Amino acid sequence: MAGFWRHCAGAIVAAQAFFASWPVTPAVAQDLYDQPVLAVDPGMHTARIWSLAVDAAGRYAVTGGGDRTVRIWSATERKLLRTIFMPVGPDPVGEVYAVAISPDGSIVAVGGWTERLGGGGPIYLFDRETGFLKDRIELQGSEVPHFLTFSIDGRYLAATLGQSRGVRVYDRDRQWVEAFRDVYEGESYGASFAPDGRLATTSQGSDGVIRLYNPSFRLMGKPVRSQSGVSPRRVAFSPDGRLLAVGYADIPAVDLLDGNSLARLPAPRPVTPTPWPNGLEQVAWSPDGHTLFAAGTADTEPNVLLAWDQAGTGEERRLPFCSAITAAGLNVLPDGQILVASMEPCLGLMSPDGKPIWTTPSPIANFRQQADTLRISADAKVVDFSFGDTPNTRLRFNARSLALTSGTPDDGLTFAPNREGLAIAGWRNGPNPTLMGDQIAIEQNDFSRSVAVAQDGKRFFLGSSFGLAAFDNAGKVVWRRNTRGEVWAVNASRDGRIVVAATGDGAIRWFRADDGRELLALEAVRTGTDWVLWTPEGFYEATPGAKDVLKWVVNHGAKRAPAAVSVSIVAKLHRPDALPLVLSELETARALGIADVAAARLSVQSATGSEKPPGSVLNVLTIGIDEFGEKAAGLHLDYAVEDAHDVAEALENSQKTSSGKATLYADVKLQYLHDETAGRSEILDAMKAMAQTMHRSDSGEDVAVILFSGHGEMIEGQFYLIPYGFDVANMETSAVSADEFARKVKAIAERGKVLLLLDACHSGAIGPGGIPGNADTSVLRNAVDSDNVSVLTSSTKDELSQELPAWRHGAFTQAFLDSLEGAADLSGHGAISINKLADDMAGELANLTNGKQHLGERVNFSGDVFVVNH
C-alpha cells in the first residue's frame, strides 16, 4: 500500500494559446540528417569499396563504398569524373553496398543502407553524366540490396537482397515496376544475366544454392546445391552464355556449371589454396570467353588475381593487383584490360597479361598495424604515426605549431600506449577482450582492435570495429563513441585529459577523456606533406593542397542528391589562430568564443543552402501535470503546467539560433506535455523520440533537458513518477517507475549530455498515509547515475516542494528561471555552466523558501558551458 502527499491545492492554470504551437505528441524522427555534416573527400573513397561496375563499352567505371559516396571514373584514363554523395544519416544510413551501370552507360543504379535505419530504403537511379537523381525504386520492409546488375539489353535491373529476402527484378520499360521476385532462405550476393536474358543467382548458408531462371523469369529446373562451399557469392556467365562461373566466400574455389542445366563441369582450383582463407568471391570472363578470372582475400602481399585459360580449364596464372586487401570488384573491359577494385580502397587497371597500367591507391593512412606505434606527447599535442604501408617512414604532427614533418626524432617527446596497471587480455583483433579474466562488455558482433590504460590506472580506453569506449578499472562502461571506421590505434595523454585515436577513415582524432567528446581531427593525405585539421564545428586549417578535402554535405530531401561544398568557401571557418587552443580549453566555444561559433554556423547555412545550420542541438522535453485524471483520488497541483510551459519557452527564446545572436546550439527541439497529453505512454514515447533524435545527430554533442513537474510517490518501496491517468487502484502499472524512467534517460545519454530537472511533488519519501518516509528522489538520481547525466531535484529528503501564487511556479522552477536569466553567469559574458547553474539554483531555492527547501544534485559534467544568457 502506498500513500501520497498533495503538492498544493487550487485551480488548474489555463493553457496559453502559445501551447498550440508546440507538439503534444512526439514527432517521428527522421533518418536523414537535417543539418550540414562534414565529410572528407580527397578524390578517392576513404572507406571500403564494396562494389564495382563497368558499362558495356568499357568507358565508365562506377565504385560505391562505406564513405557514402559513388564515384564515376574514366575506365581507361585514371580520371575521376564525378563524385555523387548519398543522402546521409546515422551509421549505416548512406553506405553503398551495390552499384550497377546500364550497358549504354547512361544510368547508375545504387543500393545499400539508404534513408532508413531499419533498412528498406530505395535503390537510387542517377544520371551518369549529370549526377542528378532520376528515379527511385522503393524496397519493402527491411530489404537491403547486396548486389545489382543490369540485363545485357538494359531493360531489367536485378537486385539480390540480404536477410533472406531473395531477388527482385525491375522493368525499365514499365517505369521500373517490379517484374519478378523470388524469396530465398539465405542471403544473396550475386546475379548474372546471359545474352539471351537468362538470370542466374546465388544464395548462401542453409540455402546455399544456385538458381537459373529463363528470360521470362521462370525457374529452369530445380535449384542446384552449391558444390564447393556453403557461401556462393558472385556468378558470371561466359560471353556466349554456355558456362557459369561461381565464386565462394568461404573456400578458395571456383565452380564451373553448364549455363543451361547447371550441371557441374571440371573446374579450376588454386595450386596453393592457403593464401585465400576467405575464399575467391569475385569471378569474371575475358571478352572472348577464353580466360576465367577470380579474386578474393589473401594473406600474402601483394594480393593476386588468378587466371585460367582454356575457358577455366587451363594452367593457373597469378597477376598481382593494387592491394593485399579483399577484392571488392572485378571487371574485364572489351579490349581485355582488367579493372580491379580493392576494399583498401584502391582501383587499378591491368593489361591482359597482368602488367599495371594505372593505379589509384588509397589516399589515406592505414592504421591497421599501428596499435603499438601510435605515439603521443604527454599533453597529446604532438602525434607520431605512419601511413601504414610504409611503416619505416614516420610522420609527426604538432598541434601547437600546426606542422606536419617527416621523420620522428628520438627526443623522448612522445610515448607508446600504456598497457601497465590493468590486466587486459584478448584485446588485439578479437571479440572477447577481458579485464582480470572477466569479459569486457563490448557490443554484439564488435571486435576490439586497440587499448590504452590511463596513467593512474583508473580507466582504460578500448578501440574497436564500432568505435571508442572508456571503461573504469572495474570494467564498467563510462562512455562510448561511434566512429567513422574502426579504431585501429588508441593512446591516452599522461595528464589524463585527452584520448587520441587513429580510425579506419585515415583520421587521427582527439577526444576528451572524461566524456568522449571529440575535439579535433586530422587527415593527412598521401602526399605526406598535405593535411587538414578541423573541429566538429568545421573550423579548420589546411595546407594549400588539402584546402578542399574537407566538405559540408547537405541533404536536399528524398528526391535530390545531396550537395557538397568545400569548407574553404566559408571564410569564418578558417581559424588557424584558434585551433591550437582547442586542446588546451577542451571545448571549441571556449577556444574561439561563442559569438564566433554562432556566426560561423549561420555562414555555413547560407553557403550550403541548408534549411538548418550545423552544430549541436538542444533537445527539450518539459512535462507539467496539474490534473491527474478521474482515478487519481483528487491529486492536484496549481502551477506544474505553467512550470513546464515557462521552462520550455525560456530555453527556446534564449537558446534558439538567429542572426546576431550568440548561442551554443544550432537548433532547439521542443516537446511539451501537460495534463491529458502527459499520460504514462506519452511520457515514455516522448523520451524514446528524444533518444532517437539524438541518435540521429552526426555530432554526438547534443544536449537534452528534461523537466518533470508533478507528483512523485513511493509504491511498495519503489519511487514512481505520477502521470496523467494515474489509477490509485493500479498504482504500479499506471505510474512510471524510477527504473523505467532511468532506462529511458540512459538511452538518451548514449549520444549526448542530459540535464534532468525533477520537481516530483517533493524530494521526501512518502510512506503510507501521507507520512514522510526515509527515502527520496535520490533513488532516481542514483538510478540514472552516468557521467553524461546531471540531475537536479527540487528538495532533499523529508522536505516538501513549495509553490506559491506570488511566483506562479514551483520554487524549484522559479529558481531555475532566475538562474537562467543570468545569476549563474560564468564570466560576465552570459555563459552558464552546469555547476554554476546548480550553485546559483541552490542559493536561490533556499532564499525563496526561507531555508525550507534545498536543492538535491548530482552534477557529472560540471565544467561545460550549458547555455548562453541574453
Examine the pLDDT at 767 and tell me if it is beyond 70: no
pLDDT tens digits along 616-653 = 899 999 999 999 999 988 888 889 999 999 999 999 98
Residue 459 clears pLDDT 90, i.e. is over it: yes
The per-residue pLDDT for 761 is: 60
- pLDDT at residue 199, rounded to an integer: 98
Pairwise pLDDT comparison (808 vs 325), residue with the higher score: 808
Structure confidence at residue 112 (pLDDT): 94
* pLDDT of 549 higher than 80: yes
Exposed / middle / buried, residue 26 (Cβ in 10 Å: 0-12, 13-18, 19+): buried
- Predicted pLDDT of residue 11: 24
**728 Cβ contact list (under 8 Å, min separation 6):** 631, 632, 633
Do 525 and 42 meet the contact criterion of CB atoms below 8 Å apart? yes
| pLDDT computed for residue 593 by the predictor | 84
Mean pLDDT confidence for 270-275: 74
768: pLDDT strictly greater than 50: no
- 3-class SS letters over 438-507: EECCCCCCCCEEEEEECCCCCEEEEEECCEEEEEECCCCEEEEEECCCCEEEEEECCCCCEEEEEECCCE
Q: Which of 386-395, 783-792, 803-812 has the highest mean pLDDT?
A: 803-812
Residue 244's nearest CA partner among 216, 213, 275, 271 is 213
pLDDT tops 80 at residue 284: yes
Return left, alpha or beta for 838; rule: phi > 0 is left, psi -120 to 50 is alpha, else beta.
alpha
Top pLDDT among 344 and 674 is at: 674
Question: In which element (H, E) is residue 590 found?
Answer: helix 588-592
Give 4's pLDDT tier (boundaries 50, 70, 90): very low
Least Cα distance to 333 among 74, 156, 153 occurs for 74
pLDDT at residue number 752: 85
Write 357-363 long-range contacts (CB < 8 A, 24+). 358/78, 359/78, 359/322, 360/44, 360/73, 360/78, 360/80, 361/44, 361/322, 361/323, 361/526, 362/44, 362/45, 362/323, 362/506, 362/526, 363/42, 363/43, 363/44, 363/46, 363/506, 363/525, 363/526
pLDDT of residue 858: 81
Average pLDDT on 178-199 reads 96
Q: What is the pLDDT of residue 104?
A: 97
How would residue 277 be classed by pLDDT, with cut points 50, 70 and 90? low
Residue 680 contacts residue 725 (beta carbons within 8 Å): yes
Mean pLDDT, rounded, for 184-212? 93
Report the helix count and the strand count for the chain, using DSSP H and E.
11, 63
Distances (CA, A) of 453 to 442, 777, 844: 17, 36, 42
Share of the chain above pLDDT 90, in %: 60
User: DSSP characters for 656-725?
Assistant: S-BTTB--S-SEEEEEEEEGGG-BHHHHHHHHHHHHHHHHT-SSS-EEEEEEEEEEEEEETTEEEEE-BT
pLDDT in the model for residue 764? 32
Question: What's the CA gap between 174 and 350, in Å, rounded?
Answer: 39
Segment (H or E) for 600 = helix 594-608
* Residue 823 pLDDT exceeds 60: no
Does the pLDDT value for residue 84 go beyond 70?
yes
pLDDT at residue 661 in the model: 65
Instruction: Label residue 868 by pLDDT band (50, 70, 90).
Output: low
Q: Which helix (H) or strand (E) holds 743?
A: helix 738-749
Mean pLDDT, the chain, rounded, equals 87
User: 726 near 641, Cβ under 8 Å?
Assistant: no
Cα distance between residue 16 and residue 628, in whole Å: 19
pTM of the model: 0.86
Instruction: Report pLDDT for 827.
Output: 42
pLDDT in tens, 473-508: 999 999 999 888 899 999 999 999 999 999 999 999
pLDDT classification of 299: cutoffs 50, 70, 90: low
- Assign 277 to helix, strand or coil: coil
Once rounded to an integer, what is the mean pLDDT over residues 838-848?
A: 90
> Per the omega criterion (within 30 degrees of 0), is the bond before 302 cis?
yes
d(CA 788, CA 700): 12
Beta strands in 177-231 (DSSP E): 177-182, 191-193, 199-203, 209-213, 224-225
Q: Please give the average per-residue pLDDT across 92-118, as a whole number.
A: 93
8 Å CB contact between 45 and 91: no
State the pLDDT at residue 69: 97
Place of cell 566559408: 570
* Per-residue pLDDT at 458: 95
Quick check: 483 and 448 in contact, CB under 8 A?
Answer: no
CA 62 to CA 82: how far, in whole Å?
10
Residue 761 and residue 711 in contact, taking contact as beta carbons nearer than 8 Å: yes
pLDDT one-digit tens code per residue, 562-592:
999 999 999 999 999 999 999 999 989 888 8
Residue type (1 letter), 533: L
**Other CB atoms within 10 A of residue 829 CB:** 12
Exposure letters 768-795 (e unless 16+ CB within 10 A, then b): eeeebbebbbbbbbebbebbbbbbbbbb
pLDDT attached to residue 694: 84
Please compute the mean of the pLDDT values over residues 77-82 and round it to a whole number. Answer: 93
Q: Mean pLDDT throughout 730-756?
A: 89
Per-residue pLDDT averaged across 20-45, rounded?
A: 68
Residue 117 banded pLDDT, cuts 50, 70, 90: confident
* Cα dist from 870 to 649, 664, 841, whole Å: 14, 12, 18
Largest distance between two CA atoms of the chain: 97
Higher pLDDT, 206 or 100: 100
Residue 152's pLDDT is 98
Q: Please tell me the predicted confidence (pLDDT) of residue 732.
A: 86
777 has pLDDT over 60: no
Using a 10 angstrom Cβ sphere, with 0-12 exposed, 13-18 middle and 19 or more buried, the burial of residue 181 is middle
Report the alpha-carbon distance of residue 413 to residue 533 in Å, rounded. Answer: 21
Q: What digits encode the pLDDT tens for the residues 302-320?
A: 678 899 999 999 999 988 8
Residue 870 has pLDDT above 80, yes or no: no
DSSP structure class, residue 28: P
Structure confidence at residue 29 (pLDDT): 38
Q: Are 838 and 792 in contact (CB under 8 A)?
A: yes
Q: Considering only CA atoms, which of 747, 620, 624, 721 is closest in space to residue 671?
A: 620
The predicted structure's pLDDT at residue 320:
85
**pLDDT tops 80 at residue 214:** yes
Q: At what angle do helices 680-695 and 738-749 cross, to 10 degrees?
A: 20
Helix (H) or strand (E) holding 157: strand 156-161
Predicted confidence at residue 693, as pLDDT, reads: 85
Residue in 278, 359, 367, 281 with CA at minimum distance from that of residue 322: 359
pLDDT in tens, 218-236: 999 999 999 899 999 999 9
Q: In the prediction, which pLDDT does 243 show?
A: 98
**3-state secondary structure at position 841:** helix
Query: Mean pLDDT over residues 276-291, rounded?
Result: 90
- Percent of all residues in the chain with a pLDDT value above 70, rounded to a whole number: 89
**Confidence at residue 772, expressed as pLDDT on a 0 to 100 scale:** 38
pLDDT digits (tens, 9 = 90+) for 134-169: 999 999 878 899 999 999 999 999 999 988 889 999
